[in-house]
Amino acid sequence: MSGDPFDWLPPAKPFGREQFFEDFAPGDVFRAKPLSLTEAEIVEFARRYDPQPFHTDKAAAAKSQFGGLIASGLQVMAATFASLIEAGFVRGGGMGSPGLDEVRWHQPTRPGDLLVMQARVTGIKNSGTRTDRGYVTLAFEVFNQKRERVMSYSCIEIVKRRAAVDVSSPAPAA
């Protein structure tokens, strides 16, 4: 046993100093550093952005269907994505995303839960019109220390190339 509560997840590809379109291949997995949210952080975020009683009021949360205080799913998404970016994901090459798909919250996150996000590359595609970029399709998942999948979603990241290419050529082979 390594002492890593997430050693049961598939091996992750290390982050380079920078990440460009050419650095991604279908099947690659990238992982953030684990993090946890305190009760105070959960309440502070929820009061500002998701003011529902099961996020903001410990007594009301205890009487809710959750039986206690839980983090906003929006906070879980933001905090774990930030951890992935801080670890080096798309550093130097990220150009944004046109949106998210299939956002799901599978389990509530409680104060003190240890969370980790991983991103798995499910596809890559050249831009049909812009020679300086490509599209990387990713499946994001967040797990807790109990091996429960907490949330999942997919998205397409627009990622800069190291150098412009003929957009009529196929994406790099995986």
Domain limits at 90?
Answer: 21-160
In a domain, 129, yes or no: yes
Indicate the helix (H) or strand (E) that contains 122.
Answer: strand 114-126
Look at residue 173 and tell me if it is in a domain.
no
Per-residue confidence (pLDDT) for residue 41, from 0 to 100: 98
Q: Does the residue 174 lie in any domain?
A: no
Phi first, then psi: give them for residue 82, nearest 5 degrees.
Answer: -60, -40
Domain assignment present for 15: no
Separation CA 108–CA 135 (nearest Å): 31
> With 70 as the cut, is the pLDDT of residue 160 above it?
yes
Question: Looking at residue 29, which CATH number applies to its domain?
Answer: 3.10.129.10
User: pLDDT category, 52, cuts 50, 70, 90?
Assistant: very high
- Whether 3 is covered by a domain: the verdict is no
Q: Which pLDDT tens digit goes with each residue over 110-137? A: 999 999 999 999 999 999 999 999 999 9
Does residue 72 sit within a domain? yes
Provide the domain count of the chain: 1
| Stronger pLDDT, 28 or 1, i.e. the higher one | 28
Residue 57: inside a domain, yes or no? yes
| pLDDT score of 171 | 61
Rounded to two decimals, what is the model's pTM?
Answer: 0.89
Residue 166 lies in a domain: no
Crossing angle of helices 39-49 and 73-87, in 10° steps, is: 110
